[in-house]
Amino acid sequence: MTTATIRQVQHNLASVLHSVEAGEEVIIRRRNQAIAKIIPMDGAEERKVDWSSLNTWRTRFFARGKLPGKAISELISEGRGDR
């Protein structure tokens, strides 16, 4: 359980909400007195993706596990041109 002051929540709302999304409870304090608690919603689904089987999938569908087409770095370089 994390605690934060009102000022910290005002200035860092995105990071506070990220913590709550990860399942953490946040207690908000004013003058060192707890006034509110932000908790994750019941039944909220995990957004984490399991990428551990990506290499297995690649080798099954593509020869030598290499995806077709150009690498993203090449595409970006081409798009930038002579900048």
Mean pLDDT throughout 22-28?
92
Radius of gyration of the chain measured on its C-alpha atoms: 22
Mean pLDDT throughout 56-74?
79
Whether the pLDDT of residue 11 is over 80: the answer is yes
Whether the pLDDT of residue 9 is over 90: the answer is yes
Whether the pLDDT of residue 25 is over 80: the answer is yes
Return d(Cα 51, Cα 33) in angstroms, integer. 43
Topology of domain 2-38 in CATH is YefM-like fold (3.40.1620)
* pTM over the 0.85 mark: no
